[in-house]
Chains A and B, each alone.
Chain A
Amino acid sequence: MQEYKGVRYMDLGNGELKVVWPSGVSSVIKSTIEDLKKEVDKVSG
């Protein structure tokens, strides 16, 4: 897995990412890596 600002992610293909937040909460989401990074920037302020 790769990491951006403490948030780990893995590109599963087909437009899906597995995201693991620092607490360990994880989910598979529909997103691009770029969009995820933008959202992480928003959440982290």
Chain B
Amino acid sequence: MTIKFIKNADTVSHTWAGQSIAPAAYYQIQAVEMVSWSTNAQLLADIGAGLAVVARSDDGTTDMGISDGIDWLKDADPSPRDTDGSPIQRNKYTKTGWHYEPRSLDFTTGVYKSLYNRKHDGNTIADGTDYGDATLKFYTSAGDELTFQETGHESETEEQFQTRLDSDCVKTIMAWQPTHDMDIIGGILMIKDAPTADTYMWTIVAPDIPENLGGSVPHVAGGWNLAYFNSKDKIQVNGRGSKTVVYDPVYNSNKFGTIIKHAAGTNVGVQMVYEFFKG
């Protein structure tokens, strides 16, 4: 049963539905009285005049306004309705003021400086400001990271580094860690140059935190073989709902790592689009 109170908001006592209520006092309507109170013309008029107030408790914390109070008293459903009286449903998918913002991260496996993650400013493709929240890294079959002008290759050119990548890089990791909170929905994967050899992909959330500590959670699991797809194919992943992911600069638990294992010299163009709502 819904608990309903009537407060005398006047400076003198009032009697409604045969019940006298002192100034500032609350009266809890009993179950058997519901009909007589909710249809009492004098009470409804006095609520409208501000002399009586409907409340959900008698402690002054839940006093209701006139419209809401009368709806509550009469068990009316205040939800919006169409001209036939059918309730109008308005599902809300994210926080007020947030918007849908699919973010694209474009890169090529085993290719130095191939990550494109820029804003729209500037005039040429190379002009836009980099968002600065993603990295592209390359690894050998031994798990060693290959970096430009690393020890032993201090004077190499970018072309020479690319030659090393073509020879030794068998794993490319694109990591994205947005510096904002978001409600993530899903993602779209587009392949520019489909490989002919087996090429496997995973997406792992919080990859810096070991699995035994609750991190390294797979969002794309099992290893998707990109060799099954044709160039310019698109794969859409629909999360069937959104999940809030809060920016975590301490443990980096909001980082998304896309791992692609490929044959040395295999350059697969990949565009990852993360779909999310953000403020």
Please name all residues of chain A whose beta carbon is closer than 8 Å to the beta carbon of B67 when the two chains form the complex: none
B167 to chain A, nearest CB (A): 35
A28 to chain B, nearest CB (A): 8
Question: Is residue B241 contacting chain A, with contact meaning CB distance below 8 A?
Answer: no
CB contact under 8 A between A30 and B212, given known A21-B253, A22-B253, A23-B254: yes
Please name all residues of chain B whose beta carbon is closer than 8 Å to the beta carbon of A12 when the two chains form the complex: none
Q: Are A43 and B209 in contact (CB under 8 A)?
A: yes
Question: Which residue of B is nearest A29, CB measured?
Answer: B214
Interface residues of A in 10-45 (CB under 8 A from B): 19-31, 36, 39-40, 43-44
Q: Interface size bucket, A side?
A: 20 to 34
Question: Is residue B34 contacting chain A, with contact meaning CB distance below 8 A?
Answer: no
Please name all residues of chain A whose beta carbon is closer than 8 Å to the beta carbon of B213 when the two chains form the complex: 19, 29, 31, 36, 39-40, 43
Q: Are B212 and A19 in contact (CB under 8 A)?
A: no
B133 to chain A, nearest CB (A): 14
Question: Which residue of B is nearest A27, CB measured?
Answer: B214
Q: Are A24 and B246 in contact (CB under 8 A)?
A: yes
Please name all residues of chain A whose beta carbon is closer than 8 Å to the beta carbon of B208 when the two chains form the complex: 43
Please name all residues of chain B whose beta carbon is closer than 8 Å to the beta carbon of A19 when the two chains form the complex: 213-214
Interface residues of B (CB under 8 A from A): 205-206, 208-215, 217, 243-248, 250-251, 253-254
Known: A23-B206, A25-B214. 16 other contacts (CB 8 A): A20-B214, A21-B214, A21-B248, A22-B248, A22-B251, A23-B205, A23-B253, A23-B254, A24-B245, A25-B215, A25-B253, A26-B214, A27-B217, A28-B214, A39-B213, A43-B208
